[in-house]
Amino acid sequence: MPQRFQNFIDGRWQDPKSEKWFDRENPATGETLGTFPDSGRNDVGDAVAAAVKAQAEWQRTPAPHRGEILFRAAEMMVARKEELSREVTTEMGKVLKEARGDVQEAIDMTYYMAGEGRRQFGHVVPSELPDKFAMAVRQPHGVVAAITPWNFPLAIPSWKLMPALVAGNTVVFKPSPYSPLSAYNIVRILEEVGLAPGVVNLVFGEDDTGAALVEDPRVGMVSFTGSMEVGREIAAYCGRHGKRVHLEMGGKNAIIVLDDADVELALEGAVWSAFGTTGQRCTAASRLIVQRGLMAEFSDRLMARASTLRLGNGLDDSVEMGPVVNQPQLQKVESYVGIGVEEGATIACGGSRLKDGELAKGYFFPPTVFADVKPKMRIAQEEIFGPVTDLIACASLEEAVAVNNDVPYGLVTSIYTRDVTKAFKAMEGITTGIVYVNAGTIGAEVHLPFGGTKGTGNGHREAGIAALDSYSEWKTVYVDYSGRLQKAQIDR
Ligand code: UN1
């Protein structure tokens, strides 16, 4: 019998009132990992009620004390890093080295936000009137709904939970049904370090569970990472109901390689950015925009490397790329490969599912490179979220930047060049939320803003101080100690 997991509501682990459950399997082996609640509206309602009940007390808890609890959680993650990492690999397939990175990112974020307990700077500025004090301080939204994807099972929940908590919000957390184990692990840790009942609540479930959470009128703010379609539905709902919303909805990121680039460095960056995490990152490089003078050499060397990456179970140390997360995702990748061929692109390597031997038990798809890709093809415009990347030729820096910017998303761009003038021109012209020079598209650090322009987001950012802006609102406070009526602009 696989282990049965429960929801965590008001400080108690409990079965779902819905009496419905789902199983999660290891995508590399097909083995069942556990059975989890498929929560219904009643379960979500209970979780939100618990979060509402706990919120005032949590907000009254001094922020430095809130931070100390997070600090203890970070310490516990450090102590358990290896087991947490193995469970990331078993539930969603990324190789163990990357899973450790995922856990480390959660640790970094938790320490960072613990420190914010003693900062959360506001503004104190001179008033334009005598005997008047002016400042702006942060206040929480109340109850935050955190809806997270499976590709960073520990890091992304920490990006949402930790800033929300340190800012004084309580949380109802609904993780992807494809990464429930890590969600359980992070909530267990918060419970063990002494978070009061109701401050964080966990409801497992599918899309309906998420919808019930978004629609609960007591939820003040929704933070969602996932697809553009779902994100836009959430935004529309929140717009109609005057609810705060933070969205992170993927990317169609490019690496620009100019003729003068360090080719070896660019190749390494491209292979890592396109095929790391099996291409299942918002930050994955799914377009390689290469200047014509370098295209032949770059594409030959890229294919040589991509086609020899070792696929397999991510727990095996020699494996370089794990499986795709599930059957629907595998079908999506396969269907985009078909679309690319129909559009006239050439499969330079990879292109079809691995069906032999041990790997046939899992959802394995090889690193796939499309050559002869035109910027307006669907494979060059839409997010595939798998191990597929496109080679697009360009004549100049200007053309490369224009092609880079001309997609519905705006998360990350990287450029390889040895020319400092070109690097600065690129930094200026690129419109994505994150830019790398002489590095791949992945490697964001927790203390800087993370997020993107256009279809990637809605103007908010995660991580860094920017996260506190997402999880709090400004309260501007004027204290007039003049003892008489002062009228700001009218008095001038
Ligand atoms: C994501 O892909 O959803 O820079 C997050 C990176 C990681 C975070 C990725 N630090 O790729």
HEC secondary structure over the chain: CCCECCEEECCEEECCCCCCEEEEECCCCCCEEEEEECCCHHHHHHHHHHHHHHHHHHHHCCHHHHHHHHHHHHHHHHHCHHHHHHHHHHHHCCCHHHHHHHHHHHHHHHHHHHHHCCCCCCEEEECCCCCEEEEEEEEECCEEEEECCCCCCCHHHHHHHHHHHHCCCEEEEECCCCCHHHHHHHHHHHHHCCCCCCCEEECCCCHHHHHHHHHCCCCCEEEEECCHHHHHHHHHHHHHHCCEEEEECCCCEEEEECCCCCHHHHHHHHHHHHHHHHHCCCCCEEEEEEEHHHHHHHHHHHHHHHCCCCECCCCCCCCCECCCCCHHHHHHHHHHHHHHHHHCCEEEECCCCCCCHHHHHCCCCCCEEEECCCCCCHHHCCCCCCCEEEEEEECCHHHHHHHHHCCCEECEEEEECCCHHHHHHHHHHCCCCEEEECCCCCCCCCCCCECCEECCECCCCECHHHHHHHHEEEEEEEEECCCCCCCHHHHC
Distance 283 CA to ligand 1 centre (A): 6
**Among 299, 267, 269, which Cα is nearest to 284's?**
269
Residues 241-277 have pLDDT tens digits of: 999 999 999 999 999 999 999 999 999 999 999 999 9
Superfamily of domain 253-437: Aldehyde Dehydrogenase; Chain A, domain 2 (3.40.309.10)
Percent of the chain whose pLDDT exceeds 70: 100
pLDDT > 90? residue 360? no
106 Cβ contact partners less than 8 Å away, ≥ 6 residues apart = 77, 154, 155, 157, 158, 186
Q: Is residue 282 lining ligand 1, measured as CB closer than 6 Å? A: yes
pLDDT band at 38 (very low <50, low <70, confident <90, very high): very high
Mean pLDDT in the chain? 96
Q: Which residues are catalytic?
A: 248, 282
pLDDT band at 354 (very low <50, low <70, confident <90, very high): confident
Q: Which residue has the higher pLDDT, 377 or 30?
A: 377
Q: Please state, in angstroms and rounded to a whole number, the distance separating the CA atoms of residues 61 and 330.
A: 46
Residues 362-419 have pLDDT tens digits of: 999 999 999 999 999 999 999 999 999 999 999 999 999 999 999 999 999 999 999 9
Residue nearest to atom 8 of ligand 1 (CA): 444
pLDDT > 90? residue 299? yes
Query: According to the 3-state scheme, what is the secondary structure of 435-461?
Result: EEECCCCCCCCCCCCECCEECCECCCC
pLDDT band at 450 (very low <50, low <70, confident <90, very high): very high
267 Cβ contact partners less than 8 Å away, ≥ 6 residues apart = 298, 301, 302, 305
Q: Is residue 105 lining ligand 1, measured as CB closer than 6 Å? A: yes
Mutate to test the pocket of ligand 1, among 109, 281, 448, 461 (most ligand atoms within 8 A of CB): 281
In degrees, rounded to 5, the angle at the alpha carbon of residue 230 between the alpha carbons of residues 384 and 30 is 55
Q: Is residue 44 lining ligand 1, measured as CB closer than 6 Å? A: no
Each domain of the chain, given as residue ranges in start order, spans: 3-249+457-477, 253-437
pLDDT > 80? residue 331? yes
pLDDT > 90? residue 13? yes
pTM above 0.85, yes or no: yes
Mutate to test the pocket of ligand 1, among 159, 282, 286, 435 (most ligand atoms within 8 A of CB): 282
Q: Is residue 152 lining ligand 1, measured as CB closer than 6 Å? A: yes
* CATH of 3-249+457-477 among 3.40.605.10, 3.30.1360.100, 2.60.120.260, 3.40.190.10: 3.40.605.10
Backbone Cα Rg of the chain: 24
Instruction: Please report the pLDDT score of residue 423 as a whole number.
Output: 98
293 Cβ contact partners less than 8 Å away, ≥ 6 residues apart = 259
74 Cβ contact partners less than 8 Å away, ≥ 6 residues apart = 107, 110, 111, 114
